Amino acid sequence: MALPDIFSRSVSDQVIERINRLTPETRPQWGKMNAGQMLAHVNVAYEMVYDDKFPKPGFFLKFMLKTFVKKVVCSEEPYKKNNRTAPAFLITGERDFEKEKTRLVDYINKTQRLGSQAFSNKESLSFGRLSVPEWNNMFYKHLDHHLTQFGV
């Protein structure tokens, strides 16, 4: 079963509508993050695409990521609850809920405007070149997992 197309306006709008139902007081159904931390966590995936904030992994680490992590992240298989996360995605300390929410909505809109063609065979920081379905799965699955975690 294919995941919804995050590059389409209708799916992007549905995801943004779910994000807009969050409040700083929304509590997770599992896990330790609060809503602001979760938004900051989800933003990391987009920062890795659009911002030059993270160093490229070395040869050995990239090999390990492509060999053992890529399938989990880029497949249609849903994430399990309470999975371990990569160090870059660990969010500690309080975050500005509204700032993180605005950044996430802006990233989703930017991705949708660029469209799937901009991601065809595009290099991922961690996994090498990805197909459009792999990019879609990575973006949509991560968003859906954490929005479900917070009941929206």
Predicted confidence (pLDDT) per residue in 69-91, tens digit: 999 999 999 999 988 888 889 99
Position 46 confidence tier, pLDDT thresholds 50, 70, 90: very high
Q: What is the pLDDT of residue 1?
A: 56
| Residue 42 pLDDT > 80 | yes
Give the percent of the chain with pLDDT over 90: 90
Average pLDDT on 88-110 reads 96
| Cα distance between residue 73 and residue 78, in whole Å | 9
Q: What is the pLDDT of residue 49?
A: 96
Average pLDDT on 15-22 reads 98
- 3-state secondary structure (DSSP) of residue 152: coil
Q: What is the pLDDT of residue 52?
A: 87
Average pLDDT on 50-57 reads 90
The gap between the terminal CA atoms of the chain, to the nearest Å, is 22
Average pLDDT on 47-70 reads 92
Cα–Cα distance list, 152 to 13, 16, 87, 102 (Å)? 14, 11, 26, 17
| Residue 48 pLDDT > 60 | yes
Q: Are 79 and 69 in contact (CB under 8 A)?
A: no
Average pLDDT on 131-148 reads 98
| Cα distance between residue 7 and residue 114, in whole Å | 8
Give the closest residue to 58 by CA, choosing from 150, 125, 3.
125
Q: Are 141 and 45 in contact (CB under 8 A)?
A: no
